[in-house]
Chains A and B, each alone.
Chain A
Amino acid sequence: RKEVEQDPGPFNVPEGATVAFNCTYSNSASQSFFWYRQDCRKEPKLLMSVYSSGNEDGRFTAQLNRASQYISLLIRDSKLSDSATYLCVVNSDNNAGNMLTFGGGTRLMVKP
């Protein structure tokens, strides 16, 4: 089983739609969670951290369910510019310290 699993998609949605991505992680000891965004042929960029109580940043809402080891990202009022691959990321500490494990990503395509 992969440490971080995501549906690779693609999710094809029209502009203005609401879309949700899910992610599951295997390490119950994980404490830090993130969503990164990666545009085609670009580097990943931090989109938002995911907090236990859930958090919102504009049109983006992230939620964490520790019991089910499940993270979600909701995008409201999708824009063409939201088209990208969204990476679910979880900490995976080893003896050396701060490490992150990246999911394979979910590809979103927003169409006019």
Chain B
Amino acid sequence: GAGVSQSPSNKVTEKGKDVELRCDPISGHTALYWYRQSLGQGLEFLIYFQGNSAPDKSGLPSDRFSAERTGGSVSTLTIQRTQQEDSAVYLCASGRGSTYEQYFGPGTRLTVT
């Protein structure tokens, strides 16, 4: 079946601009996670959605970052007033919610110039 998809695959933006990154989880998966990974570094948790529960935003690095999940499916991660340190690969993962396994999308590589 179809896996997790993310768009765009690459995004280059100027410092100070806003960007939106999209994630389409695997159909039927109730859990959705956003992570970011800087070059050569490990995964940094950002935010977690589970069904209709309030999201866990504990990993968001600043109030410039926000995320929504509409209809329990598609999610959008928004970064306002981008900074150069926001440059990273942003990975989305989904899971069944009843188990811990997470399945990752290919990521969006964000470059802030």
A→B interface (CB under 8 Å): 32, 34, 42-46, 49, 87, 91, 94-105
Q: Name the residue in A45, A98, A101 with the highest tally of chain B Cβ atoms < 10 Å from its Cβ.
A: A98
| Given A34-B100, A43-B105, A46-B101; A99-B42 close (CB under 8 Å) | no
From 4 to 56 in chain B, residues with beta carbon under 8 angstroms from any chain A beta carbon are 31, 35, 41-43, 45, 48, 50, 53-56
Contact between chains at A97 and B97 (CB < 8 Å): yes
Chain A residues with CB below 8 A from B80, complex form: none
Consensus secondary structure, chain A interface: strand
| Given A43-B91, A44-B43; A99-B104 close (CB under 8 Å) | no
Question: CB < 8 Å: which of A42, A96, A100, A105 contacts B102?
Answer: A100
Contact between chains at B101 and A49 (CB < 8 Å): yes
Consensus secondary structure, chain B interface: loop
- Within the assembled complex, what's the spacing in Å between the Cα atoms of A87 and B102? 13
| Shortest distance between the CB of B32 and any CB in chain A (Å) | 11
Contact between chains at B103 and A46 (CB < 8 Å): yes
Contact between chains at B48 and A102 (CB < 8 Å): no
Question: CB < 8 Å: which of A45, A94, A103 contacts B56?
Answer: A94
- Within the assembled complex, what's the spacing in Å between the Cα atoms of A96 and B59? 13
Chain A residues with CB below 8 A from B107, complex form: 43
- Within the assembled complex, what's the spacing in Å between the Cα atoms of A9 and B75? 35
Contact between chains at B50 and A98 (CB < 8 Å): yes
- Within the assembled complex, what's the spacing in Å between the Cα atoms of A28 and B44? 22
Contact between chains at A98 and B95 (CB < 8 Å): yes
Per-residue 0/1 for B96-113: is the Cβ within 8 Å of any A Cβ (1 yes, 0 no)? 010111111111000000
Give 5 closest A-B pairs by Cβ, nearest first. Answer: A43-B104, A104-B42, A96-B56, A102-B43, A32-B100
